Amino acid sequence: MIERKAQIFNVQKYNMHDGPGVRTLVFFQGCPLRCEWCSNPEGQYKKFQVLFKKDQCINCGACVSVCPAGVHKIAAAGKHFIDRDAECIGCRKCEHACLQSALAIVGETKTISELVEIIEEDRPFYETSGGGVTLGGGEVLSQPVAAASLLQTCKQRGINTAIETCGYARPEVIEKVAPFVDLFLFDVKHMNSERHREITGVRNEMILQNLIWLLDNRYNVKIRMPMLKGVNDGEEEILQLVELLKPYKDLKNFKGVDLLPYHKMGVNKYTQLGWEYPVEGDPKLSNADLERIEQAITKYNFPVSVVRH
């Protein structure tokens, strides 16, 4: 029997922000959204990516000589550059050849057994803290079969499970994974569908439909709102969210709202990928802004907290 595999781009241990207790966070590659503020752009596509720190490169050409895919090249002026039209095959020969640590290959194929072995390494932390594993990305539901297999295996082993999701998936995908998920960390990026399309590339009808289905069917859900000034911090936007969630506020499976302030931790990755950073200006909210939004939601007796990474 052929074992399921997942394409991932990172495993982060001892995480305290993405679910209860100490978590192991597994990042799946591939995402149907293109959020302007994405802090993990290397996870947007389900393929190997080359991160290049240009300021550390000495143009020695060592990577050029070992790359079988023609990703690395030397220009006529003697400068190293990445041919972004060439397809990296993930052999990592360039990464090993670079003495300046200017290159990093992102992306790795792991079997479910290999991932479970990594997750199991920290079982004592889960047991003492009430933690477990959280699958994120990218978007974990872009690899639904691998995600369901990993979640089911963890549940069978008594490991608490959570997923971070944008919610943009076919309803049957949500229904398939839901029985193996102890907590959905569910993004609501904007309530207006057209505005949602402008800032993420997709409309939000299917997202909100999936959210309501999870709440109606008594699956544990915590809402997460990435907060950007001038994007989704207005009073009307907050009130629309409150109205949507009002029928569920007294249910045990509704776990409240997390506000995620905008940060710039992923900006350097865009440069290393050879991409332009889409966000103009600085949409970071002040503490006063965050307090205003927090109070506006708390007024309706919703649990709400500001999560600062």
Regarding whether 129 and 196 lie in a shared domain, the answer is yes
Regarding whether 40 and 139 lie in a shared domain, the answer is yes
Residue 203: C-alpha distances to residues 168, 172, 196 (Å): 9, 18, 6
Question: Does residue 41 lie within any of the structural domains?
Answer: yes
pLDDT digits (tens, 9 = 90+) for 244-294: 999 999 999 999 999 999 998 889 999 999 999 999 889 999 999 999 999
Res 309 pLDDT > 70: no
Asked if 134 contacts 185 with a C-beta cutoff of 8 angstroms, the reply is yes
At residue 1 the predicted structure's pLDDT band, cuts being 50, 70 and 90, is: low
Tell me what the pLDDT averaged over the chain comes to.
Answer: 95
The pLDDT, as a whole number, for residue 273 is 97
Question: Does residue 238 lie within any of the structural domains?
Answer: yes
Q: What are the backbone angles phi and psi of residue 141, rounded to the nearest 5°?
A: -75, 0
Regarding whether 117 and 84 lie in a shared domain, the answer is no
Res 307 pLDDT > 90: no
188, exposed or middle or buried, with CB in 10 Å at 0-12, 13-18, 19+?
buried
Give the CATH number, domain containing residue 82: 3.30.70.20
Regarding whether 121 and 91 lie in a shared domain, the answer is no
Regarding whether 95 and 28 lie in a shared domain, the answer is no
Question: Does residue 276 lie within any of the structural domains?
Answer: no
Among candidates 143, 118, 142, which has minimal Cα distance to 4? 143
Regarding whether 116 and 97 lie in a shared domain, the answer is no
Regarding whether 296 and 176 lie in a shared domain, the answer is yes
Res 223 pLDDT > 90: yes
Regarding whether 225 and 94 lie in a shared domain, the answer is no
Q: 70, 85, 106 — which closes off a domain?
A: 106
Q: 106, 126, 144 — which closes off a domain?
A: 106
pLDDT digits (tens, 9 = 90+) for 33-47: 999 999 999 999 999
Question: Does residue 57 lie within any of the structural domains?
Answer: yes
Q: 106, 127, 153 — which closes off a domain?
A: 106
Question: Does residue 290 lie within any of the structural domains?
Answer: yes
Regarding whether 236 and 128 lie in a shared domain, the answer is yes
The whole-angstrom separation of Cα 100 and Cα 80 is: 13
Regarding whether 127 and 64 lie in a shared domain, the answer is no
Res 103 pLDDT > 80: yes
Tokens for 125? 């932390």
pLDDT digits (tens, 9 = 90+) for 129-180: 999 999 999 999 999 999 999 999 999 999 999 999 999 999 999 999 999 9
State the total domains in the chain. 2
The pLDDT, as a whole number, for residue 293 is 94
Q: Can you give the residue range of the structural domain that contains 59?
A: 49-106
Question: Does residue 219 lie within any of the structural domains?
Answer: yes
Regarding whether 70 and 139 lie in a shared domain, the answer is no
Among candidates 207, 221, 136, which has minimal Cα distance to 171? 207
Regarding whether 166 and 302 lie in a shared domain, the answer is yes
Higher local confidence (pLDDT), 76 or 40 = 40
Mean of pLDDT values over 26-35: 98
At residue 231 the predicted structure's pLDDT band, cuts being 50, 70 and 90, is: very high
Give the CATH number, domain containing residue 165: 3.20.20.70
Is the full-model pTM beyond 0.75? yes
Question: Does residue 299 lie within any of the structural domains?
Answer: yes
The pLDDT, as a whole number, for residue 265 is 85
